[in-house]
Amino acid sequence: MLANPAPATSPATGGTAAGAGAPPPPASDAIVAVADYMLGLRYEAISSAVLQVTRTELFGAVSVGLGGRNEDGMRQLRELASELGGKGEAVIWGSPLRVPAHDAVRINAAMVHSLEFDDTFGCGFLHPSAITFPAAFAVDDMVGGISGREFLAASTAAIDVACRLSIASQPGVDGFTAGWHNTTMIGYLSTALLAARLMKLSDEQTINAVGIAYHQAAGNSQSHIDSALTKRLGPGFASSAGVLAARLAAKGVSGPAGVLEGKKGWWQQYHKGNYSRALMFDGLGRDFPAMEMPSIPTFMAIRLPRAMPRFPPRATGKAWGPAMADHFRRPSRACTAGISRTSPMSR
C-alpha cells in the first residue's frame, strides 16, 4: 500500500478552511489514502446490502443508457465514432460498433445521463452510475478476465469515492451554486481510479492516473443555464478522460501528486480551500453514502420519455433551476451531519 495514508478520522475541515489552531497539514496528499482505499476494498469486506445497491445501480444504468441511445447528442457521438474508427476494443451499447475503449465510454456514459433518469445522490448533486459502470464495462471489454466480484467491488469503491468527494468539497454548498457540474468534474477522478484498479496498475501508476485525469478536469454549470446538449455529454467527457489517463499512466506518463490538497490541487483550485477530510474519510469502507440514494425504477427508461416533456428543457434560453430543485431529492440529515457510525448508511 502507499505510504502515509490520511487518517480515517480527520479534522472537520482542511486546507485554508481549517483556521487558527488547526492540526498540521497531513504527511501526504489525501489522494494517497483515496487510492489506497480504491485499490484495496475487497468484495468480501462489502456487506450484502451495499452490494445489492451496486447491482441495482448497475441494472438501472444499463437500462436508462439503452433508453437514451437515440437522444440528441448520442446519434452524433456514434456517427463521429464510426467515422473516426480505430481499434475495436469495446462495444457501444445498443450497437454492433466496436471502438477504442476511451471512445466507447464517452458515448455510453453520455447515454446513461442523456434522459436525466440516472441515479441521483441528492446529498452531493451527483449521478454516480454514469461515471462508473460505462467505464467499468469498457475496461472489462478491453482487458478481459475481470471477475464479477472484482467488477462489483471496484464499482462500489468508485461510487463511494465519487459520493464522498461530492459532499466533502465545499460542504453544504451544492455544485451548481459553486458553478460546477459535479458529475462531470468528479467523474474525471473517480473514473481514473476505477480504470486503474481494473487494469491492475501499481500504487504509483494509480496516483499518476488520477493526476493525469485531474489535469484535464472541467465541467462548469453554464450548460445547465443555457440548456445545451453538452450537459448530457459531460459524464462521457470525464469517463473517457479517466480511462485514457489510466492507459497513459500504464505507459509511464506521470501526473501531479498533489491532486486534492496541493497548492493548486482540487480542493484549493476548484473549491477555494473549503473541504472536509472528515466527510471524505470517516467511516471509509464501513459507511457507504450511496445507501442514501433512492433506486430509479427501470421502467422509467422506457415509459417516461414518451409520457413527459423533454428534461432538461432545450432551446428555451431559460435556466432550469426549478426543475433541478424538483429533480433532486431533499438531502437527508446524514448529508449535513456527516457520516456517523450509527448512520443508516452504515453496513
Distance of CA 133 to the CA centre of its chain: 10
The three-state secondary structure class of 174 is coil
First to last CA, the chain: 24
Burial 84-114, CB ≥16 within 10 A → b, else e: eeeeebbbbbbeebbbbbbbbbbbbbbbbbb
Question: Could you give the angle at the alpha carbon of 186 between the alpha carbons of 180 and 192, nearest 5°?
Answer: 150
CB 30 within 8 A of CB 280: yes
Instruction: Cell 427508461: give the residue.
Output: 301
For the stretch 60-112, pLDDT in tens is 999 999 999 999 999 999 999 999 999 999 999 999 999 999 999 999 999 99
Measured distance CA(98)–CA(88) in Å, rounded: 4
CB 267 within 8 A of CB 214: no
The topology under which CATH files domain 40-337 is 2-methylcitrate dehydratase PrpD (1.10.4100)
Write down the domain spans for the chain: 40-337
Measured distance CA(121)–CA(102) in Å, rounded: 25
**Is 331 exposed, middle or buried (CB count within 10 Å of its CB: 0-12, 13-18, 19+)?**
middle
Parts of the chain with a pLDDT under 50: 1-13, 15-25, 297-299, 301-334, 336-347
The three-state secondary structure class of 131 is helix
Pairing mode of beta strands 90-91, 98-99: antiparallel
Distances (CA, A) of 116 to 59, 142, 239, 248, 342: 16, 28, 17, 31, 32
- Written as one string, the DSSP assignment of 252-276 is T----S-TTTSTTSHHHHTTTT-B-
Of 73, 53, 56, nearest to 114 by C-alpha is 73
